[in-house]
Structure 1
């Protein structure tokens, strides 16, 4: 199951571990992504808090935590090659994995149809 925030972050949940990244809409809006700053492993964030930064040739934008939790893993491939966010924002360009404080809170986020309607 994939869910979305109004800050244009997607999140999936598998076995109590969430994976998050920016949406294709965010990537389209930002344009060519040239740099990604990710949080530290072990850092804790509340839902909605800025947990990273993505920079394009146009602008820089915060990446907001979709759910409260602790960062477990970073996508080093994305840090080394930010262009992955341009070519595969919903796949290879995931930003981080985290343990959500309340995994069931994912249900409060938008489903794909709702998010698609929001971004039209």
Structure 2
């Protein structure tokens, strides 16, 4: 997935499962490592972190279609996941915000700002 405007660009894509061997655990068997590449006026960085469950990853595309399409964005709740590393919100005026925290936050932020 690529989201961009004239100043910002973020590319997110699933890389692999976090654990290569199925253990029978509902969560461990479904964690995806997501790769992100981010460019902002303040700088650019990348990350690769286990931050989405497979069911959560499947919610992103329909959510983006809903906030950018016929459904009024104000009726769509923001999109948050079990791990707060990546989340999405909308401004109500046609813009989508991608929130990156913890391991996906810009590397120049202090440790407290990563939480």
TM-score, length of structure 2 as denominator length: 0.29
For the pair shown, the structure with the greater C-alpha radius of gyration is 2
Higher relative contact order (CA 8 A, sep 6+): 1
